[in-house]
Structure 1
Amino acid sequence: MAQNFQSQAPFAVLLDSDTGAVLYEKAADELMVPASMAKLATVLVAFQELSAGRLSLDSEIGISENAWRKGGAPSGGSAMFAIINSRIKLSDILQGIIVQSGNDASIALAEAIAGDEATFARIMTERVRGLGLTKSVFRNATGMPDPQQRVTARELALLADHIIKTYPELYKIFGQREFTWNKIRQQNRNPLLAMDIGADGLKTGNIDEAGFGLVGSAVQNGQRLIVVVNGLKTGRDRATEARKLLEWGFRAFERREIFAAGETVGEASVYGGAKGRVALRSKGAVSLLLPRGGTERLAARIVYRGPLAVPVQEGAEVARLVVTRGDIKTLDIPLYAAESVQAGTLQSRALDALFEATTGWVRKALSRS
């Protein structure tokens, strides 16, 4: 069943939050238009500013003529209907962005933090780069059309996962069903919240260039899944495909522990050390979600740039464990040195240097063949 499942969405990812396992992917690393799903990066910057103490939920955000005209009532797009030249607490601005997908609120927030929207968009891109997201580029705070604004489904899922885990209290806003501002009551645009599937966020998107998209998350029996779909023809298709993926993910997979907490996962070679190898461990138990009754083979490898140079400090992140199921990367987690390794004797360092020089020559010869 797991092998035969197919989504109608042109772009799709289903991610298990706890293990980081990718249960399903389709064009997950191809660039796509985010539409209002770009507001996840807008919100990320705001959450980071709050966490750093540079803003508070009581901070007042001014609504400029630009924000009102470009993103408010006159624009005809999604808006919280903020009044021009008014000042609104950040707590309400965030609800305007998250619940109502307000472009006016997004632009006002960008201007308050960075002075103008273009500068803020550069900050958005820099902040997601800091999370290891290397492909996504943002050019505005709203998700309005821009030929250079592109993301991937996988990176949207990872961004959502980061927001959920890093800002659990602020994340609760994403589950809010409605918000009233300027005497206008609007429902949350996320269709998953009205379904009895444990959904509690995150964000929809739709412009002509992108089609209908959604980043969603749901929890069942303590398991959280994050889904991304994009490029669908209608809002109904978006809701249907996202729900199908989530329900299938909860139903079709079982958790298996492959390494216990504290168990050695493997070893990495060390150059010039008192020991030639160092044991590697994860921070906790390592589990996978695997298709029930599936017969696909798993392939696991330890990836690092080595041999490691001394000194190697115990607890330092020095490698990654990558597990694939067919063409799908199901797990990619950091590995840490289980002990410290100091520099070895002069003789041992000389032998290591000779060995590395010889194997390096062989590697270069093979690379040219």
Structure 2
Amino acid sequence: MRFLPAFFTATSLLLSGTSLPALADALNTKADYAYILDGDTGLSLYSKNGDEAFIPASMTKIMTAYVVFERLRDGRLSLDDEFVVSETAWREGGAASGGSTMFLDLGSKVSVQDLLRGIIIQSGNDACIVIAEAISGSQEAFAEEMTRRAQELGLKSAHFENPTGLYSDNHRVSAADLAKLAYLTITEFPEYYDIYAEKEFTWNGIRQPNRNPLLGEVDGADGLKTGHLEISGYGLVGSAVRDGKRRIIVLNGLESIADRASEARRVMRAAFNDFKVVEVIQPDQIVGEAEVFLGTKKTVELKANELVKAALHSDAIRDIEVELVYSGPLKAPLKAGDIVGQIVVTAPGMNEIVTPAVIAESVERKNLFERALVGLGLTG
């Protein structure tokens, strides 16, 4: 079989499967969970326990805000709508609770616009409860909507039991799904995403800084949210843009605020410097030849029918392998565009990519006389 250059380093016929080469942890993060997403393509660049659901703490509030953003977009809410602070919101999420709070006054009216800043910038549990009660009647009902929407968005690991991220037995989501949620927030709601980059917010005379350690410290950082519970450690969902490229990172299970800050900055720098998205195969690129049985041509070229990109550590680029997988020889007639196999792309530390291999040009079947000669072994 014949291949064009550019990443094509291995071929295979009648291949039943491929194995993913082993690779030492390229990031070597101290976080228990870590994930890096390319914010332009949505491709995964790195994963450490990325698909394993964990306790997200206040990173939950990204989903809380997402539900609000959807209702704003659909016209079911307005930024100027005002909601009353209930006793539940005041007691469970206010100053007396000892947790993150917006310092809302009992019985006061607060606009959606201010509540969003209380949720995103101040991580106010009281603001989350006010929103949940106003939209769904209770925290439990709102959490059910959060879970339903997350599942509809493809965030299969997500199960929310409250809008705040306060501990609950079955409140879980994976790093991969948090990264995807951040990606959806950024791409679908640019008009509201800017709130995540605001460095402080003052309510009731109390100024609170944004807890995101990336803001003002990493070039291009513009979001998203931190989280912490004693049981799950310190975590962060972060995003930044550099030279027109966006990266999204998720970390969780760090031991201290200082660890979260230093590791978040290190991982974000690595996300830009050490991880790449490369174009491995172009649309219509010829990837090899296949033998043809009973055809007017002895061989036919096979090609890709779509662009294939790989997201991986820079050190793994040289080890990308592309294999053409088909069962041959192919029996004529063959029609251009027919799928006859697979193109499998592998590299260390990267999940394999599989895309169809198609016939590049039609091949007619030999006529009856020619086929008879083949049957008699007089020709090939």
TM-score, normalized by the shorter chain, greater than 0.5 = yes
Structure 1 residue runs of 5 or longer lacking an equivalent are 267-278, 303-319, 336-369
Kindly state the Cα deviation for residue 296 of structure 1 after the two structures are TM-superposed.
Answer: 3.0
Deviations 1:258-313 (A, max 9, x none): 345x65899xxxxxxxxxxxx9855xx553344335333346899xxxxxxxxxxx
Q: CA deviation at 1:61?
A: 1.7
Unpaired runs of 5+ residues, structure 2, are 1-22, 288-302, 326-341, 357-380
What one-letter code is carried by the residue in structure 2 that aligns with 1:38? Answer: T
Q: Distance in 1 between matches of 2:45 and 2:226?
A: 21
Give the counterpart of 2:351 among 326, 329, 347: 329
For the aligned residues, what is the CA RMSD? 2.8
Give distance in 1, aligned partners of 2:248 and 2:208. 25
Q: Say whether the 8 Å CA contact 1:193–1:200 is kept in structure 2.
A: yes
The one of 306, 314, 339 equivalent to 1:292 is 314
Cα-to-partner distance string for 1:8-54 (whole Å, 9 max, x where unaligned): 10100011111223222111111211000011110111011111110
For the pair shown, the structure with the greater C-alpha radius of gyration is: 2
* Equivalent runs, 1:126-145 vs 2, <5 Å: 126-145=148-167
**Match in the other structure for 1:211:** 233
Work out the percentage of aligned pairs sharing the same amino acid. Answer: 45
Give deviations 1:162-208, integer Å, cap 9, x for gaps: 00000011000000000000000000011110203211000000010
User: RCO higher in 1 or 2 (8 Å CA, sep ≥ 6)?
Assistant: 2
User: Residues of 2 paired with 1:321 and 1:80: CA distance?
Assistant: 53
Q: What is the alpha-carbon distance in structure 2 between the residues aligned to residue 7 and residue 168 of structure 1?
A: 30
**1:122 to 2:149 alignment:** no
Q: In the alignment, which residue of structure 2 is the partner of 1:37?
A: 59
In 2, distance between residues paired with 1:332 and 1:197?
A: 35
Matched-pair contact (CA < 8 Å) for 2:26–2:313: no
| TM-score, scaled relative to structure 2 | 0.73
Contact 2:121 2:200 in 1 (8 A): yes
Whole-angstrom distance in 1 between the partners of 2:125 and 2:42: 32
SS at match of 2:53: coil
- SS state at 1:109 partner: helix
Count of residues in Structure 1 that have an aligned counterpart in Structure 2: 303
After the TM superposition, which of the residue ranges 54-63 and 17-26 deviates more from structure 2?
17-26
Seen in structure 2, the aligned counterparts of structure 1 residues 218 and 61 have a Cα distance that, compared at 3 Å, is same
2:227 match: secondary structure: strand
Superposition pairs of residues 178-217 of structure 1, within 5 angstroms: 178-217=200-239
What residue identity is the alignment partner of 1:139? E
Distance in 1 (alpha carbons) for counterparts of 2:62 and 2:25: 31
**Cα distance in 1, alignment partners of residues 186 and 70 from structure 2:** 13
1:70 alignment partner AA: E
Per the normalisation by structure 1, the TM-score is: 0.76
Asked if the contact 1:122–1:138 (Cα under 8 Å) also holds between the matched residues in 2, the reply is: yes
The structure with the greater share of residues assigned to helix is 1
What CA deviation, in whole Å up to 9, does each residue of 1:226-260 have, x standing for no partner? 00000000011111112111111211234422345
